[in-house]
Amino acid sequence: MSARPAGVSVPVRVRPGAGRTRVGGRYEGPHGPALIVAVGAPAVDGKATEAVRKALAGALGVRPGEVSLRLGATSRDKVFTVTAPADAWESRLLELRDNG
């Protein structure tokens, strides 16, 4: 059994209005090293945030319901909480963030 908490914060830098969805790369943001997520959705009415939530879940291999926005509803710098056990996705996050 893992001693790690089930809810882990994941800082993200959003690039809305991109030509295609892409998850990968590192951005030194206000919440620490952030994963860059580009989405085609515009930054209007939460559309980009929802697209990022789904893209992040897919990239980490977890269900979208296990990813929720914690901070930054109107900012490009967001923090999501992932409630899936970290053992299942943590190494994938590091690979995406550090290798793009």
Q: What is the gyration radius of the CA atoms in the chain, in angstroms?
A: 12
Mean pLDDT score across all residues of the chain: 92
* DSSP 8-class letter at 72: -
The identity of residue 60, as a single letter, is L
**Residue 97 pLDDT > 50:** yes
- Domains in the chain, ordered, with CATH? 8-84 (3.30.1200.10)
Rounded CA separation 2/5 (Å): 8
Summarised one tens digit per residue, pLDDT across range 63-96 is 999 999 999 999 999 999 999 988 889 999 999 9
Summarised one tens digit per residue, pLDDT across range 51-72 is 999 999 999 999 999 999 999 9
Which is it for strands 32-38 and 67-71: parallel, antiparallel or unpaired?
A: unpaired
